[in-house]
């Protein structure tokens, strides 16, 4: 009761003027429901973004190079036990074709994402890709070549080191939820929460720019859990954030939720936007993606994410013929378009909200530089 009184007495304008936030204040902001208050939150997050990282939007061309996955995460459409779709593994030429499109479109970076595998031939394939991408994209105009982000899951520290030495400099590994029992409820027992944490620590020790994130609106997840996720991002001192609404997939145990009312879908979407805004306010100078999952609910979801404080977009470069086989969740947009169409569509969308695109720039996380300077 005392806590409720305290929260109801909070003054939003006063909170938004802070540059450090208590857990109760984070919860208060995530609980906002009135449209005018949510807009105040959005505008505050936008000005924090402008002040700390600028208004430019950086592109990371996304190449989902294989949907073969060892893991059986309960929520994920490409989990091992789902037999209702075709598994693919793009060959090197197909991947390099996609990389060439990134160069043609003048993207500064690419993201190589796939289902999880840890065998040596997979690792060597990734190493070969990283080295080849570096060598073909390095020239007089672009002396460091394309920036490379990897998103290939839990690996040993030694493997992460090999990836880094080959030239990858960013790594995305979502914690999915920082609440251990919630994490357990959505993953099979062989996926260990502490191992995930250790992977994040190893990536940081090696020197990667490290990204993490959570799904928003998971069954059983509370606002307090999400507030703790934001506090975790801050304490873990991560450089990049990628998060979006949880969207039930038809071939998972959450299929029953698809039938649930539209209302809860929109609630997750709105909560995801509030999470982006509050994370921007709390973490200030990180890079934050406006994820495709937002657009699966609202056709303008990715533009909205940018208005709530995100500054990264991942345009699709995955060859159109396999895109449908990489459906982590239902309703994933941009399935039939060719990379060029996605490129033109996204540039138009970003221009429509008066944001500039950082073509040909890496657009690295400012947070990474401030934390590594402090460490030295």
Residues found near ligand 5AD in the complex (CB under 6 A): 75-76, 174, 176, 215, 244, 246-247, 249, 293, 328-329
CB of 337 to ligand 5AD, least distance (A): 20
Contact 118, 158 (CB under 8 A): no
* Tally of CB atoms within 10 A around 354: 7
Distance CA 239, CA 286 (A): 5
Give the residue with the Cβ less far from ligand 5AD, 244 or 333.
244
Shortest distance in whole angstroms from residue 328 CB to ligand 5AD: 4
Least distance (Å) between residue 136 CB and ligand 5AD: 26
* DSSP conformational letter for 191: S
Q: Which residue has the tokens 């993606």?
A: 289
d(CA 319, CA 309): 30
Nearest distance, CB of residue 173 and ligand 5AD, angstroms: 8
Least separation in angstroms between residue 247's CB and ligand 5AD is 4
Q: Which residues pair with residue 91 across a beta bridge? A: none
**Other Cβ atoms closer than 10 A to 169:** 19
Which residues lie closer than 8 Å to 22 by C-beta, 6 or more apart? none
The nearer residue to ligand 5AD, 16 or 170, going by C-beta atoms, is: 170
Comparing CB distances to ligand 5AD, the nearer of 258 and 344 is 258
Residue 6 or residue 255: which is nearer to ligand 5AD going by CB? 255
Residue number, 146 or 191, with CB nearest to ligand 5AD: 191
B/e letters for 314-330, b = 16+ CB within 10 Å, e = fewer, are: bbbbbbeebbebbbbbe
């Amino acid at each position: 009761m005392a806590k409720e009184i305290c929260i109801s007495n909070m003054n939003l304008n006063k909170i938004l003027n802070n540059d450090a936030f208590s857990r109760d204040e984070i919860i208060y902001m995530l609980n906002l429901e009135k449209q005018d208050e949510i807009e105040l939150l959005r505008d505050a997050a936008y000005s924090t973004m402008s002040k700390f990282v600028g208004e430019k939007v950086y592109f990371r061309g996304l190449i989902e190079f294989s949907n073969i996955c060892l893991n059986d995460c309960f929520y994920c459409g490409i989990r091992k036990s789902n037999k209702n779709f075709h598994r693919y593994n793009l060959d090197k030429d197909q991947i390099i074709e996609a990389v060439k499109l990134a160069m043609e479109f003048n993207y500064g970076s690419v993201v190589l994402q796939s289902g999880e595998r840890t065998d040596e031939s997979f690792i060597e394939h990734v190493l070969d890709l990283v080295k080849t991408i570096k060598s073909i994209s390095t020239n007089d105009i672009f002396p460091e070549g394309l920036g490379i982000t990897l998103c290939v899951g839990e690996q040993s520290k030694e493997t992460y080191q090999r990836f880094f030495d080959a030239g990858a400099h960013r790594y995305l590994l979502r914690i999915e939820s920082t609440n251990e029992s919630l994490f357990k409820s959505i993953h099979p027992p062989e996926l260990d929460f502490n191992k995930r944490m250790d992977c994040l620590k190893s990536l940081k020790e090696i020197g990667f720019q490290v990204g993490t994130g959570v799904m928003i609106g998971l069954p059983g997840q509370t606002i307090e859990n999400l507030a703790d996720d934001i506090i975790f991002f801050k304490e873990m001192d991560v450089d990049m954030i990628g998060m979006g609404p949880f969207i039930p997939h038809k071939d998972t145990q959450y299929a029953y939720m698809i039938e649930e009312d539209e209302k809860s879908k929109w609630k997750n979407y709105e909560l995801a936007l509030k999470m982006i805004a509050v994370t921007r306010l709390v973490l200030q100078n990180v890079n934050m993606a406006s994820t495709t999952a937002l657009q699966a609910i609202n056709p303008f979801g990715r533009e909205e994410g940018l208005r709530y404080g995100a500054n990264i977009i991942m345009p699709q470069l995955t060859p159109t013929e396999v895109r449908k086989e990489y459906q982590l969740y239902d309703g994933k947009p941009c399935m039939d378009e060719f990379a060029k169409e996605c490129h033109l569509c996204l540039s138009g969308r970003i221009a429509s909200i008066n944001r500039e695109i950082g073509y040909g720039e890496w657009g690295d996380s400012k947070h990474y530089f401030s934390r590594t300077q402090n460490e030295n």
